[in-house]
Structure 1
Amino acid sequence: MDPQNLCSKCLEGCIHEGTPRGKWESVGGVLCYVATPQHYVSPGWAQKVVLYLPDAHGPQLVNNQLLADDFAKMGFRTVIPDIFDGEPVPPDARFQTFNVPKWLKRHGKDVIRPIIDRVIAALKQQGVQEFVATGYCMGGHYVFDLAFDNIIQIAAVSHPTLLQSPADFEKYKLLSKAPLLMNTCEFDPWFPPESQAKANEILRDSISERKFLRKHWEGCTHGFAVRGDMNNPKIKAGKEGAFLAVVKWFKTHSVTAESSRL
């Protein structure tokens, strides 16, 4: 697909029900949605942060806030930076009328990556020693970017966009030490079957010391892990399963908190 565009599934989706429990905080001068565990979970939890890099709807989307709250319930302090600096794609935007290329030009890597770096620097000043990252859609691209620089210790992406296949998989194999989980789905123009197969070919059998896992969710479409229709049994199972897979991945590979099995 054209890297200057997004597919319709990047904009569309369902709004999930629930009341967010996190708080808005300024972290390094960046507005962030922060979800914090309410109870002590395990040694070292305060020294670790889940850096949640969102889809084009940003931390303002209630779905992203609720997912961050779910990570907090599992014992992870979770931070969603406003990587679009107050200009996410509105939740009611439609592919036919929203000017995606123009929006993307205002929110390229030269703008987004410095925002993420400021948040990470500020969290380090707070005493955070381990960064694990989960990224959805556009956010998945920046999880790869941070993994290339070995800024994060564990990586997870769900239906990522803007990845270059096979170049980014080769680069990950060459540069990153972070164990990588990929949640992929059956219908995804940004990460089609040939790209999924290429990721397996390059990563699964060749970096056992760093570990790679791809979870595939049948019957699901791009965006399912954040904006999926919870009235569709397959998508509901995929959304919930992808979340639990990320939690298990983080707990399995964590170096500062006790590992546990779900």
Structure 2
Amino acid sequence: MHYFSFAVPLWGLAAFATASGSSCCKAAGKCPVTDVSALRSTGDPVGNTTVFENVTMYYTGQEDKCRQDTAVLFLTDIYGLASPEDLRLADSFGRAGYFTVAPDLFDGAPSPLDMNAPGFNQTQFLAAHGPDVTDPLVAKGIRYLREVRGYPRVAVTGYCFGGRTRGRRRVRGAPGHVDGRRGRGHYAAGLGRARPARRAEPPARRQEMENLFDNLTTPWQVDLYSGAMHGFAVRGNLSDPQMRFAKETAFIQAVRWFQFWAK
């Protein structure tokens, strides 16, 4: 199975101020992007939760350090805030210098970590969490970062379910991670709104999607990872050297994307 990422910049909902966080990072050396020192795959999540407009928000990262003008909105996979892997990855963006917020997209009732659990119907679950339900929650996450935390720029990263949701947001600098098995419809929905994503596709489908990107006027990027599993950017088996490489590289690519485009 081949997994690849594609990337194009999302243009913002509002005017953005002049960047200042980048110089802070370079001077202080506190925002690693060329190594994986910020990335954690073990240990307890280190963030906290708050409630904004009746939505639980997991927040992580220190606001008094670098990248003070840009925050990250982290859109989880189907396991939501119950997933330690999602929270640890959000923490990793915090350690990379970005104050990061993950809104609860499932109102406290995400998919069980074992999707084969008795009584769980994935089809019904996804139908109950369509765009009419999740889009307002994402919008609240953006408002929380802008109105409560005061960030003029919001970058977005989404994984699997969150990647599909992120594709509809017109927010600047938005990597995402979408499982191609959900079909081209979800992919095409984000065209012109621009975003990076991790996606599982056979080679023929990959070429088809690259042809679609040729019609974009905004920059984009495609990264192909061989031997990766679905969800590798969040739940990759780090005992497998090839999987570790894919997960670590995907994280670094996302941070570098934010550095370049979210400004």
Q: Percent identity among equivalent residues?
A: 28
CA contact (8 A) 2:163 2:197 kept: no
1:168-199 deviation per Cα after TM superposition (whole angstroms, max 9, x unaligned): 43x544x42x4x32334xxx3xx443332222
TM-score (norm 2): 0.76
Distance, in Å, in 2 between the alignment partners of 1:37 and 1:27 is 19
Alignment: residue pair count: 222
1:1-29 CA distance string (max 9 Å, x none) = xxxxxxxxxxxxxxx52121111111332
| Alignment gaps of 5+ in structure 2 | 1-40
Shift of 1:134: 0.7
Q: TM-score, normalization: structure 1?
A: 0.77
Residue number in structure 2 paired with 1:254: 262
The residue aligned with 1:17 is 42
Residue in structure 1 matched with residue 176 of structure 2 by the alignment: 157
Which whole-Å CA distance do the structure 2 matches of 1:101 and 1:200 have between them? 29
**Could you report, residue by residue, the CA deviation over 1:30-54 in whole angstroms, capped at 9, with x for unpaired residues?**
101111237521xxx3332211111
SS in 1 for 2:168: helix
What is the match of residue 211 of structure 2?
Answer: 201
Q: Which has the higher mean CA deviation after the structures are superposed, 98-107 or 246-255?
A: 98-107
Q: 1:162-181 to 2 correspondence within 5 Å? A: 164-165=183-184, 168-169=187-188, 172-173=190-191, 175-176=192-193, 178=194, 180-181=195-196
Residue in 1 aligned with 2:54? 29
- Give the counterpart letter for 1:101 in structure 2: T
Alignment partner, residue 10 of structure 1? none
Whether 1:58 and 2:80 are equivalent positions in the alignment is yes
Of the three residues 106, 126, 131, the one matched with 2:154 is 131
Distance 1:71 1:145 in 2: 22
**Do structure 1's residue 89 and structure 2's residue 111 form an aligned pair?**
yes
- Aligned CA RMSD, in angstroms, stands at 2.3
1:162 deviates by 7.3
Supply the distance in 2 between the matched residues of 1:236 and 1:60 (Cα, whole angstroms).
23
Q: Separation in 2 of the partners of 1:96 and 1:210?
A: 45
Letter paired with 1:30:
V
Quick one: structure 1 residues 48 and 162, their matched pair in 2 at CA, closer, same or farther if it must change by over 3 Å?
farther
Report if the CA contact (8 A) 1:134-1:143 is conserved. Answer: yes
1:254 deviates by 2.0
Give structure 1 stretches of 5+ with no counterpart: 1-15, 256-262
State how far apart, in whole Å, the 2-side matches of 1:122 and 1:181 are.
Answer: 23
Between 1 and 2, higher relative CO (CA 8 Å, sep ≥ 6) is seen in 2
Distance in 1 (CA, whole Å) between partners of 2:73 and 2:210 is 25
Q: Which residue of 1 aligns with 2:129?
A: 107
Distance in 2, matches of 1:108 and 1:79, equals 21
Pair 1:206–1:30, CA change in 2 (3 A): same
**For residue 134 of structure 1, what is the amino acid of its counterpart?**
T
The 8 Å contact of residues 35 and 79 in structure 1, kept in 2 or not, is answered as yes
State the 1:160 CA deviation.
Answer: 3.4
Distance 1:39 1:236 in 2: 31
Displaced runs of 4+ in structure 1, greater than 6 A?
Answer: none
